[in-house]
Amino acid sequence: MNVPARSAPRHTPYHPRWYRTPVSTYWWMQQWSYFRFVLRELTSLGVAYSCVILLCLIRALSLGPEAYEALQKRLATPMVIMLTVISLLLVLLHTITWFRLSADAMVVRVGGRRIPGFLISASNYVAWLVVSGIVAWLLLR
């Protein structure tokens, strides 16, 4: 009797044919929370960009006033400004998500009770404002 191939049982002996759903390369686009996660991870690019800018500044200062002026001009070109704005947004996102993550990751106990996460975040934000203020003051005085 000719049995069409489709109707014959399709399992390997002694073992069922499990189906393994493939994970798409675009898994991070399939869910809003996954996309937010990848965006959070990409903030590291903004951090790297900032380090490069700072190194350029240090080098320019070391080379003399003309180099410093040239750097200021280069930094003001539209292309660089665009990159800087994107990086600034990424770096701010890094700060915000970092404070939220470190609140979740740390267990700080005072007198036997655990300090709630939002207090840790809040104190981080206050410290951030204070530190930023000090750095700005040092640069501007």
Under the criterion CB under 8 A, does residue 57 sit at the interface with other proteins? yes
DSSP 16: -
Under the criterion CB under 8 A, does residue 59 sit at the interface with other proteins? yes
At 54, phi and psi to the nearest 5? -65, -40
Name the minimum Å distance from CB 1 to other proteins. 18
Q: What is the rounded distance in angstroms from the CA atom of residue 73 to the CA atom of residue 65?
A: 12
Q: Locate tokens 């200062």: which residue?
A: 61
> Is the CB of residue 99 less than 8 Å from the CB of residue 124?
yes
Under the criterion CB under 8 A, does residue 87 sit at the interface with other proteins? yes
Of 28 and 115, the one with the shorter C-beta distance to other proteins is 28
- Binders of other proteins among residues 2 to 41 (CB under 8 A) are 6, 9-11, 16-21, 23, 25, 27-28, 30-31, 33-34, 37-38, 41
Name the minimum Å distance from CB 2 to other proteins. 19
Q: At what angle do helices 65-75 and 32-63 cross, to 10 degrees?
A: 150
The tokens for 87 are: 């990086």
Size of site (CB under 8 A) for other proteins: 74
